[in-house]
Structure 1
Amino acid sequence: MTRRSVHTDKAPAAVGPYSQAIATDSLLFTSGVIPIDPLTGTIPEADIEVHAHQVFRNLRAIVEAAGTDLSRALKVTVFLTNMADFQRVNVVYAEYFQEPFPARSAFQVAGLPLNAPIEVEAVIAL
């Protein structure tokens, strides 16, 4: 099995000792993506829809840098600091993923890096 790191400047750099994603022969595993604006390096003050759009744009940039796209997503995991945001995130999610939708889990967590309200990771077919 080959293994390579994936990086793009169109998404925020890792905020720790990890890769934006790792590609194997057939699968891409993304790290958790938070709503950092890659142009400013910050998480803007905004509502959950704005944050969710930023997360999915960042995720899409990483996936495309690996040579694939979100239509090939197999599994998506969504972490929220407030489960009350779940339905609002679903509306945004549906703009980035189409049927057949990937398998998905969603969890409420006590906290996320940089106090982000949402983080998303995915497994994508190459």
Structure 2
Amino acid sequence: MTTNKNMITKLAKLSFSALLGFGVMVSAQAAPTPTNPTNPTIIQSKPIFFGDGGEYPFSSAVRVGNTLYMSGQIGFKDGKLIKGGIKAETKQALDNINGVLLQYGYQKSDLVKCMAMLTDMDDFGDFNEVYKTELNKPYPVRSAFGVASLAANASVEIECIAAK
């Protein structure tokens, strides 16, 4: 029950942040209480950009308040796409996401939203099989899209948001 309450709190923070725009975070105190009769506290937070895409024009992640927005990850290892198909690429993409999370002080349990892009929706079952072994319940909310192509001819790209 506590885990579900924590996830709901994370999602509420994320939703308020999205509604109010980049640079704004709402505290976990979502409703007035007898000890705090005021409305939620709004805390201004300037985006902090982390890493860079090397020769590509993007950051690896941006933190706004306690929310970490991560760039999409494909199955790259040592500068090249790994071989082995959708399962291997999904595992490596999730390993890369975990590396970004750890680098900036987060963990997999802080994930609140993931978006998966697959070049072949027939791979959806294999993707889910790996996804379920790499992440734990309660799973982050997720969207999945079929796309025509991805960078480096990847089969899957995964983009996530984490919140503390």
Tell me, yes or no, whether TM beats 0.5: yes
Q: CA RMSD in A?
A: 1.5
Query: Which runs of structure 1 show a deviation greater than 3 angstroms over 4 or more consecutive aligned residues?
Result: none
The one-letter code sitting in structure 2 at the alignment partner of 1:107 is F
User: Would you say the 8 A contact 1:73–1:124 is kept in 2?
Assistant: yes
How much has 1:7 moved relative to structure 2? 3.1
Q: CA deviation at 1:24?
A: 1.2
1:91 aligns with 2:135: no
Query: How far apart in 2 are the matches of 1:6 and 1:55?
Result: 18
Aligned residue identity for 2:134: Y
| TM-score when normalising by structure 2 | 0.69
Determine which structure has greater relative contact order: mean sequence separation of CA pairs < 8 Å that are 6+ residues apart, divided by chain length: 1
1:1-126 matches, within 5 Å, as: 1-7=45-51, 13=53, 16-37=56-77, 39=78, 41-126=79-164
**8 Å CA contact retained: 2:121, 2:146:** yes
Contact 1:48 1:85 (C-alpha < 8 Å) held by counterparts: yes
Measure how far apart 1:44 and its partner are. 2.4
Q: Is the 8 A contact 1:7 1:62 kept in 2?
A: no
**Cα shift at 1:58:** 0.3
Which structure carries more helix by proportion?
A: 2
8 Å contact from structure 2 (residues 85, 155) kept in 1: no
Unaligned 5+ runs, structure 1: none
Q: Which amino acid aligns with 2:158?
A: V
Contact 1:7/1:20, CA 8 A, preserved across alignment: yes
Normalized against structure 1, the TM-score is what? 0.89
Q: Give, in whole Å, the separation in 2 of the partners of 1:57 and 1:14.
A: 20
1:14 is displaced (CA, Å) by 5.2
- Residues 86-124 of structure 1, C-alpha deviation per residue, up to 9 Å, x if partnerless? 111111111221111110000000011111110000010
Percent identity between the two aligned chains: 30
CA distance in 1, matches of 2:82, 2:137: 31
Letter in 1 for 2:75: P
CA contact (8 A) 1:7 1:65 kept: no
Counterparts of 1:51 and 1:14, CA distance in 2? 21
Paired positions, count: 120
Q: Deviations over 1:19-38 (max 9, x none)?
A: 1111111100001111110x
